[in-house]
Chain A
Amino acid sequence: MTAFSIRRVPKLGFVGLLGIAPAFAQASEASTDPLWMVGIKAFLVIFGLLTAFAYMTLIERRILARIQIRQGPNRVGPDGLLQPLADAIKSILKEDIVPRAADKLVFWLAPMISVTFAVLTFGLIPFGPKHAFFGFDPWVINLDVGILYIFAVSEIAVYGIFLAGWASNSKYSLLGSLRSSAALISYELGLGMSLLAPVVLVGSLNLQAIVEWQHTHGWLILYLLPAFALFVVSSMAEAARTPFDLPEAEQELVGGYNTEYSSIKWALFQMAEYIHLITASALIPTLFLGGWRMPGFLTAIPWIGGFFAWPYLWMFVKIALFLFFFIWVRGTFFRLRYDQLMRFGWGRLLPLALIWFLIVAAVVAFKLPLSILAWLSALSLIGFSIYVVLGAKPQAPRRTMRPGVGD
Chain B
Amino acid sequence: MGVGMAVSFWDIVAAVLLVGTGILVVRLQNAVRAAIALIANFLVIAAVYVGLEARFVAMIQIIVYGGAIVVLFLFVIMLLSAARANVGEDLLPGLQAPALIGALGLAAILIYALTHFQAPASPPPLQGGLPQVLGPLLYGPDRWLYALLAVGFLLLIATVAAVVLVEPERLTRSTEHPAHPSRGPQPSPQDEREVVGR
Contacts and interface: CB of A to CB of B under 8 A. Distances in A.
Interface of A: 103, 105-106, 109, 143-145, 148-149, 151-153, 155-156, 158-159, 162-163, 165-167, 174, 177-178, 181-182, 184-185, 188, 203, 205
Contacts of A167: 32
Given A162-B74, A181-B78, A155 B63 contact: yes
Contacts of B68: 155, 185, 188
Contacts of A143: 55
The prevalent SS among residues of B at the interface is: helix
Given A106-B36, A156-B66, A181-B78, A144 B128 contact: yes
Interface in B58-83: 58-60, 62-63, 66-68, 70-72, 74-75, 78-79, 82
Contact of A103 (B30, B56, B131): B30
A182 B66 CA distance: 16
Given A109-B36, A188-B68, A148 B75 contact: no
B82 A152 contact: no
A155 B62 contact: yes
Nearest to B43: A156
A162 B67 contact: no
B45 interface: no
Nearest to A204: B132
7 nearest A-B residue pairs (beta carbon)? A155-B67, A148-B59, A152-B62, A181-B75, A145-B55, A152-B63, A152-B59
Given A148-B60, A155-B66, A205-B131, A182 B75 contact: yes
Interface in B121-152: 128, 130-132
A156 B62 contact: yes
Contacts of B66: 152, 155-156
B39 A159 contact: yes
Nearest to B70: A159
Interface of B: 30, 32-33, 36, 39, 43, 46, 55-56, 58-60, 62-63, 66-68, 70-72, 74-75, 78-79, 82, 85, 128, 130-132
A330 to B, nearest CB: 24
The prevalent SS among residues of A at the interface is: helix
Contacts of A109: 36
19 contacts: A103-B32, A109-B36, A145-B56, A145-B130, A148-B63, A152-B62, A152-B63, A153-B62, A156-B43, A156-B66, A159-B74, A162-B78, A163-B32, A165-B78, A166-B78, A166-B82, A177-B78, A181-B71, A185-B75
A337 to B, nearest CB: 8
A163 B70 CA distance: 12
A158 B32 contact: no
A167 B67 CA distance: 19
B78 A178 contact: yes
Contacts of B30: 103
A144 B79 CA distance: 38
Nearest to B60: A148
A164 B79 CA distance: 15
Nearest to B77: A166
Contacts of B55: 143-145
Contacts of B59: 145, 148-149, 151-152
A329 to B, nearest CB: 23
Given A106-B32, A177-B78, 12 more contacts: A148-B59, A149-B59, A151-B59, A151-B63, A152-B46, A152-B59, A155-B67, A156-B66, A159-B39, A162-B74, A181-B74, A188-B67
A163 to B, nearest CB: 7
